[in-house]
Copies of this chain bind each other. A is one copy, B any other.
Amino acid sequence: MENFKRYLTQNGAMTDERFEALYATLLVKRYDKGRILVRPGEVCKHSFFVESGLLRAYTITESGKTHIIQFAPENWIINDRSSAYFNEPTVLFVDAIEDTTAILLDNDFSCQLADINPAYTQHNELALHNHIRHQQMRINSLLGATAEERYLDFVRQYPDLTLRVPQWMIASYLGITPESLSRVRKELAKKHFSK
């Protein structure tokens, strides 16, 4: 619960007692590596705050390709906002890349927070805007950058994940094949070595 507590108290809008009371109402679950938490067709009832471990959200096309939408290491929240907010069935899978402890947040959790302290309304809005900004950068990169550029961006942005996540998943996140990523890395190593 340490990470979650830090996440909620960082802006000073939460006392220890209030946190304890709130935390007591929440469900905390542990998922083994490989466990699937959400499947397409389900209506998302909650999001997952990752206390420890690593989750991922992805789609599988009719042709069997998987597209990774998001990784969620410690302190990240993952879910299908569309499904949760609009009460529609999701199109996403969510599964555990590592053994993971997650805190389940009901869809009205942000309202609960706002009741405790109105400052959390802004907290929530900030999270939404961050999400949008992040997605926009990704769209921009997918629109024009080469595989090599996209990989370098990924390494810069998520140096931690680069080491924790299997390479073929990074490839899937970047929208290229594992073989292509392998070759990209080979080229990069060559360049780096000749300098």
- The quantity of this chain's copies bound in the complex is 2
Give chain B residues whose Cβ lies under 8 Å from the Cβ of A136: 69, 82, 135
CB distance A143 to B142 under 8 Å?
yes
A-side interface size class: 20 to 34
Q: Chain A interface secondary structure, helix, strand, loop or mixed? A: helix
B143 in contact with A81 (CB, 8 Å)? no
Q: Which of B82, B135, B144 contacts A129 (CB 8 A)?
A: B82
Mark A residues whose CB is within 8 Å of B. 59, 61, 65, 67, 69, 81-82, 85-86, 121, 125-126, 128-129, 131-133, 135-136, 138-140, 142-144, 175
15 A-B pairs in the complex with CB atoms less than 8 angstroms apart: A65-B144, A69-B136, A81-B132, A82-B132, A82-B133, A85-B125, A85-B126, A86-B129, A86-B133, A125-B125, A125-B128, A128-B132, A132-B132, A132-B135, A135-B136
